Amino acid sequence: MQLLIDAGNSRIKWAWSDAGRPGAVSAVDLATFDVATLAHAWQVATAAHYTCVAGDAVDAAIRRALPSGCAAHRVFAGPSACGIANLYDQPARLGADRWAALIGARALHAGPLVVATAGTATTIDALDADDRFIGGYILPGLRLMLESLARHTADLPHAAGHAADWPRNTDDAIHNACTDAQAALIERIGEQLGPQATVLLSGGAASAIAPRLRCAHQRVDDLVLHGLARLAAADKGPDVMKCGPERDAAHEAL
């Protein structure tokens, strides 16, 4: 059976490929997972395609958890894959999760796309109508923004505010400033890409950011897993993926 694994900065998510698409998604927190739990969940895997931006220890844990004889393919970004061209200055330095999410987004939607993933970091990437990744942005995720204010100021709290057009308390002032900053950048990139662009929003903070967006958008979760399913189906060359534990430090980038 074909296993798809997205090891992010906070969680490991996985699904079984079902007719070239991810099935039901399971997840564990990086802070609490153990190899035995993963090994039990993955015991019938015959092949696995995965991204890992969580470092060497998590990568090693994933490989230990996969059953003996399972063909493990760790995905990295390359110059092209699945018909998509990577215009990053150094294509290999594009984070594997961002690359897989772009491939997954194209599998689901045609035309120019803004792919915004609001996780530990928020990444906002642009895919044009000619299937070219033309560039993107990385900023601290919503939680990191909120924690940074609380950590580095004497009087500001860990804000638990609510959406408001005119915040009238400190928690709401912080919460709305941080969510609106994320939403505004997503809107700006959509404007740069043009009126035909579709905005896709995913990630754990998407539910907080979505109400603040003033542009049309669609909520689509697990884009990395959708991309991995498409990559697994293609699996035609080293520009798509590398096999084995070897890796370059550049691939740790988001």
The rounded distance, in Å, linking the Cα atoms of 191 and 111 is 15
Q: How far apart are CA 119 and CA 203, in angstroms?
A: 5
Q: Is 131 left (phi over 0), alpha (psi -120 to 50) or beta?
A: left
HSE, CB side, 13 Å, CA atoms: give it for residue 122.
28
Work out the angle between the directed axes of helices 170-193 and 142-152 (0-180°, nearest 10).
140
- Do 50 and 72 contact (CB within 8 A), yes or no? yes
Phi, psi of 52 (to 5 degrees): -145, 115
The CA-CA-CA angle for residues 31, 24, 29, to 5°, reads 5
Choose, from 59, 97, 125, 222, the residue flagged as catalytic. 97
Three-class secondary structure of residue 145 per DSSP: helix
Other C-beta atoms closer than 10 Å to the C-beta of 91 total 18
Question: What is d(CA 28, CA 45) in angstroms, rounded to the nearest whole number?
Answer: 18
Q: Rounded CA gap, 187 and 39, in Å?
A: 42
Among this protein's residues, is 180 annotated catalytic? Answer: no
- Catalytic positions are 97
